[in-house]
Amino acid sequence: MTGGGALLEVRDLTVHHGQLQALSGVSLRVEAGEVYAIIGANGAGKSTLLRAIAGLHRPTSGSVLLDGADIARLRPEKRVAAGVVMVPEGRRLFPTLTVEENLQVGASYARPGPWNIGRIYELFGWMGGRRRQLAAQLSGGEQQSVAIGRALVANPRVLLLDELSLGLAPVVVRRIYETLPELLASGLTVLLVEQDVSQALRVAGRIHCLLEGRTTLQGPPGGLTAEAIEGAYFGLSGPPGGEPASGTVPSGTVPSGTAAPAAPEAAP
Ligand code: ATP
């Protein structure tokens, strides 16, 4: 592997939507086998980042490297074939296709690997028995599982998960996240966007906070104080990209569920 061990690297990525600069010089390195979480408030640029990595937004500048090779100019389906596969926000299944047909669509640009439709039915025990049901007839959680299955059958190297928990009951979200260890055990690397910060902190080896398109904080959850995360999330601790705050945070604020004394890794 090249690139100093990073399987996926984003260098100095800037993305515009028309006049709006949605991402400004964002860089990150995702190591093979880790879960890396992007957090941030609404409109922070999280989905734009994932979609730019997947090839759905053309960056203004910057690069995206997979195993050291620049994929920033590849079309989305070529990125899938290279191993970068996204579960989009809102699932985006084909509602008039069956469960199995949706999974077959995911296999269109599949790489060789451990995942196939039978294995998806093993991962989600309910799914095989309902393979002929239309996607539109499934609950939100079931649709999310099919969307994950559709991505997995492409045998990704890096799985991009955009707001898995959106619109789902916490118990359903928990059940879906319970599949993560099995995905990692199959050799996957996961880059996820999560609106539920507590959930991100539970599952991720490192988190990366965006605010108005800029990196405000990144590091392992255990090395970040709750106050630093809250400051980075809301922009309470000085200009984006600056040193995050440290200390403790009142309970009940958005980025709850963390507190550790070690100093965070400052944004680049
Ligand atoms: P959310 O949690 O609300 O999805 P986000 O952090 O994922 O937010 P993005 O969806 O990446 O943020 O949006 C970043 C900024 O870019 C926002 O100001 C948003 O309104 C804008 N934006 C996103 N997509 C488009 C688009 N296709 N055209 C124009 N502006 C866009």
Cβ atoms of residues 262 and 220 within 8 Å = no
pLDDT score of 261 more than 50: no
pLDDT-derived band of residue 90, with 50, 70 and 90 as boundaries? confident
Q: pLDDT at position 237, please? A: 55
Classify residue 253: in a domain, yes or no: no
Determine the atom of ligand 1 nearest the C-alpha atom of 48: 11
Annotate 150-208 with DSSP letters as a single string: HHHTT--SEEEEE-TTTT--HHHHHHHHTTHHHHHHTT-EEEEE-S-HHHHHHH-SEEE
Cβ atoms of residues 168 and 177 within 8 Å = no
Instruction: Pick 55 or 110 by higher pLDDT.
Output: 55
What is the sign of the dihedral through the CA atoms of 190, 195, 201 and 206?
Answer: positive
pLDDT score of 246 more than 70: no
Cβ atoms of residues 243 and 227 within 8 Å = no
Region 90-100: mean pLDDT is: 89
Classify residue 243: in a domain, yes or no: no
Task: Determine the distance separating the centroid of ligand 1 and the alpha carbon of 246, expressed in angstroms.
Answer: 29
Total domain count, the chain? 1
Classify residue 224: in a domain, yes or no: no
Classify residue 264: in a domain, yes or no: no
Classify residue 150: in a domain, yes or no: yes
pLDDT tens digit string along 39-63?
999 999 999 999 999 999 999 999 9
Rounded Cα distance between 90 and 76, Å, is 18
Classify residue 66: in a domain, yes or no: yes
Classify residue 164: in a domain, yes or no: yes
Residue 31, judged by CB atoms within 10 A of its CB (0-12, 13-18, 19+), counts as middle
Among 26, 47, 166, which is best to mutate for testing ligand 1, by the most ligand atoms less than 8 A from CB?
Answer: 47
Classify residue 35: in a domain, yes or no: yes
Q: Which domain holds residue 174?
A: 6-204
Residue 218, judged by CB atoms within 10 A of its CB (0-12, 13-18, 19+), counts as buried
Task: Determine the distance separating the centroid of ligand 1 and the alpha carbon of 15, expressed in angstroms.
Answer: 11
Q: ∠ at Cα 207 (205, 208), nearest 5°?
A: 150
CATH number at residue 81: 3.40.50.300
Instruction: Pick 238 or 127 by higher pLDDT.
Output: 127
Task: Determine the distance separating the centroid of ligand 1 and the alpha carbon of 133, expressed in angstroms.
Answer: 33
pLDDT tens digit string along 141-189?
899 999 999 999 999 999 999 998 888 788 888 888 888 898 898 899 9
Task: Determine the distance separating the centroid of ligand 1 and the alpha carbon of 22, expressed in angstroms.
Answer: 7
Within 6 A (CB) of ligand 1 lie 17-18, 20, 22, 40, 42-48, 195
